[in-house]
Structure 1
């Protein structure tokens, strides 16, 4: 009986330490990548504002060729939604909605993931002219890990996980735009 009590006390202490540590860990993540594309900013912006076009260069959209895609609203306008459904775990089920457009400069969107886990994030794509025929494109995603799940953030390395996919997606975009 004493052994069981000691085991319980140790388990309670471990859980308490984890919960206390999680309280002090960051809860938010922000990942951003950028690339320079040899095309004018207006033509790059006109391309990336459409959700159907984003599915052409996004790494996640290209993981599952059998993924079911549906669109609601007028693509390229605030309120338009691209939904996806895949049996592939890395893709899952979710949707992206355009929430704000700063004409010629930036598109903001909401990401709602339903499977494999229920989560939300926000993202953006921006275009800035840096020379007559060059455009800097930034792509970012921000989210929150609720307490106490945020204890996993240092182990997950969100910047590395999501960042490599943003880098590859931007490389795909550059390749498509510079053809």
Structure 2
């Protein structure tokens, strides 16, 4: 009897392993949103890791996490590492390619609680009402991730984080656009005032016009 049970268990395990092996070897999770701003406003928020603390859906999960920035301030070569609690783990992001106002490609390395290396891309394109931002992550499925996919909807789980991050990115971008508009208005007003003051001054070298004599 015990031999039959063990044989049945072994057969079930083999069937499970065989089924898991047939699952897709790669994955891509993707979400998008239209931000009511121009690409030159939205792009820097992604291209500069220092700005991620303002909109990343994971940043607030551990206020005490350790962050390290290295390489260029932004763009290709910029590097960011984090280490925190069990919710965010430990990892590194490196911008491997950056096309101004068009795309940011990131090498995403997870160190803890599990090791994995994926590729994250943000693409920016003109859309009705502003700029469409597409956030995607792709990589390879190992046996564990294939097995996890049988019991959890990974697209829904990760997609939910992407959606939350894009919503916050929209708020930050709108606030930045407002600041840019206010700064531009201030510069325009200062320029107009300076031009008016210059026009009110007599031309250099021109004789002053004497006031008419009083009879």
Q: TM-score, normalised by structure 2?
A: 0.77
State the distance in 1 between where 2:135 and 2:63 align: 23
Q: 2:62, 2:87 within 8 Å by CA — same for their partners in 1?
A: no
Tell me, which stretches of 5 or more residues in structure 1 are unaligned? none
What does 1:8-157 align with in structure 2 at a 5 Å threshold? 8-87=6-85, 89-131=86-128, 134-147=130-143, 149-157=145-153
Q: Please tell me whether Structure 1 or Structure 2 has the larger radius of gyration of its CA atoms.
A: 2
With over 3 angstroms needed to count, the CA separation of the structure-2 counterparts of 1:165 and 1:67, relative to structure 1, is same
Deviation readout 1:12-39 (Å, 9 max, x if unpaired): 1011101110121113221111111111
- Equivalenced residue count is 175
Q: 1:56, 1:62 within 8 Å by CA — same for their partners in 2?
A: no
State the distance in 1 between where 2:57 and 2:152 align: 19
Task: Point out which structure has higher relative CO (alpha carbons under 8 A, 6+ apart).
Answer: 1
Which 4+ runs in 1 deviate beyond 6 A?
none
Q: Does 1:171 align with 2:159?
A: no
Q: 1:68, 1:84 within 8 Å by CA — same for their partners in 2?
A: yes
Cα RMSD (Å) of the superposition?
1.5
State the distance in 1 between where 2:67 and 2:144 align: 33
Structure with bigger helix share is 2
Q: 1:18, 1:151 within 8 Å by CA — same for their partners in 2?
A: no
State the distance in 1 between where 2:70 and 2:104 align: 17
How far residue 101 of structure 1 moved from its aligned partner, in angstroms, is 1.2
Tell me, which stretches of 5 or more residues in structure 2 are unaligned? 176-215
How far residue 151 of structure 1 moved from its aligned partner, in angstroms, is 2.5
Structure with bigger strand share is 1
